[in-house]
Amino acid sequence: MGDDIPLAGLLGLLAVLLLLSAFFSGSETALMSLNRYQLRHKAREGNRGAKLAEQLLQRPDRLLGLILLGNNLVNFTAASLVGVIAFQIGGQPAAAVGTILLTLAVLIFSETAPKTLAALHPERLAFPAAIIYYPLLKITYPLVWLTNAASNGVLFLLGVRDKGDDLHSLTREELRTVVHEAGARISSRYRKMLISILDLEKVTVDDVMVPHNEIVGIDLDGDDAEIEATIAESQHTRLPVYRDDIDKVIGVLHLRRLANLAHKKLDKVTLQSLLIEPYFVPEGTPLSTQLVQFQRRRERIAMVVDEYGDIQGIVTLEDILEEIVGEFTTDPADEEDDVVKESVNTFLVDATVNIRELNRSQGWELPTDGPKTLNGLIVELLETIPAASTCLKINGYPIEIVESDDNRIRSVRVSQRLPQETETD
């Protein structure tokens, strides 16, 4: 047959075979390198190549069977053709040289170069290839099916089982990595918000609630002047109402309801008639769960209780939203009271401040997996209430006790840590 075809024709056919080999090799890498989530997005936008590629990748064994069938057929045909060309040019000695040259040509032009291009720009090659492979798979399906049945049988004997699409689902940590690696595609502000949403299950109502001793409310057992002063000075729109002690809460007053009284005199009976039934949640509830509960019950404030029913604090919808978007309702005067900058690297800090809020406002990295306040963290580490001038280091931050009394630490001096210091001493 080789004698009937001119040498130029054989060389042209060999070039076509090498191009086909490059197509099969490059398209295989391109299709397998596609980002499945970007592919799904483009398919939903109506990209025809993306739709066909998504359908082909639902059964990657069939797609690979088709590609390998075509690639091997082309390569073996090219090898036979090189033998014919070599004999025409120089006889048997030229066959060995032809084999070496074909190996180099396939390696460079039909494997390495197209696969590298496909890895760098998978969509550019994968989508046009999918348009070709889709009908080709229909035509060669019986042969591809037999090939896959044999290969799957071998894998089954070796203990390899198909786990379906579970391999393509992302865990929370993997999704965090995707968000971090988004780079300029998502602004840093939105990246932080997305990460905060993913972290909601790690944070509980205990971490963000207003603690028991800081709750501002209305004591119905107090005199009318005290009640009116509390309402007038309140920075909140909802106030818990109790008798004698916050553990005896009887309801929540929405200050907007007071506007309906017009010019009527406010007394305790009228005030009690305006109360909303209190909503209680157990301590340790994840913020993701509590956010859903607030939405489902159409509530904005809840009392956090322990296993004995004692109120530990108050959590609001705003507290949870601030975990996602950052502070937006904090009074600047409160921040100044909690943290006072003494010098470039030292800060005088109220020891009752919440550690998470302190980390967020100052950019620090104090541990948050234990006590919620700086006072609690220091007492847990030292196992005693330290006297003034006691010094320690937490996660690389030098801390000096400035003021303490018999039952708690009142204020501390915190110094910025050195970049290499991250251990808790």
| Mean pLDDT of the region 213-242 | 86
pLDDT at 279 over 90: yes
| Mean pLDDT of the region 80-95 | 76
- Quote the CA–CA distance of 222 and 244 in Å, as a whole number: 8
Domain 204-325: give its CATH architecture. Roll (3.10)
* Residues in contact with 277: Cβ distance below 8 Å, sequence separation at least 6, in sequence order: 251, 252
Choose the most confident range, by mean pLDDT, from 11-15, 266-270, 330-334. 11-15
Across 78-87, 243-252, 335-344, least confident range? 335-344
Q: What integer pLDDT is reported at residue 316 of this predicted model?
A: 92
Q: What integer pLDDT is reported at residue 424 of this predicted model?
A: 45
pLDDT at 304 over 90: yes
pLDDT at 1 over 50: no
pLDDT at 305 over 50: yes
Amino acid at position 1, single letter: M
Q: What integer pLDDT is reported at residue 203 of this predicted model?
A: 87
pLDDT at 322 over 50: yes
What are the residue ranges spanned by the domains of the chain?
Answer: 7-163, 170-202, 204-325, 332-415
Classify domain 332-415 at the CATH topology level: 3.30.465
pLDDT at 383 over 60: yes
pLDDT at 396 over 80: yes
Query: Model confidence at 399, in pLDDT bands (50, 70, 90)?
Result: very high
The answer to whether the CB of 31 falls within 8 A of the CB of 126 is yes
In this prediction, what percent of the chain has a pLDDT beyond 70? 89
pLDDT at 418 over 80: no
Of 62, 93, 80, the C-alpha closest to 10 is 80
Query: Model confidence at 303, in pLDDT bands (50, 70, 90)?
Result: very high
Q: Label each residue of the chain as H, E or C.
A: CCCCCCHHHHHHHHHHHHHHHHHHHHHHHHHHHCCHHHHHHHHHCCCHHHHHHHHHHCCHHHHHHHHHHHHHHHHHHHHHHHHHHHHHHHCHHHHHHHHHHHHHHHHHHHHHHHHHHHHHCHHHHHHHHHHHHHHHHHHCHHHHHHHHHHHHHHHHHCCCCCCHHHHHCCCHHHHHHHHHCCHHHCCHHHHHHHHHHHCHHHCEHHHHCEEHHHCCCEECCCCHHHHHHHHHHCCCCEEEEEECEEEEEEEEEEHHHHHHHCCCCCCHHHHHHCCECCCEEECCCEHHHHHHHHHHHCCCEEEEECCCCCEEEEEEHHHHHHHHHCCCCCCHHHHHHHEEECCCCEEEEECCCEHHHHHHHHCCCCCCCCCCEHHHHHHHHHCCCCCCCCEEEECCEEEEEEEECCCCEEEEEEECCCCCCCCCC
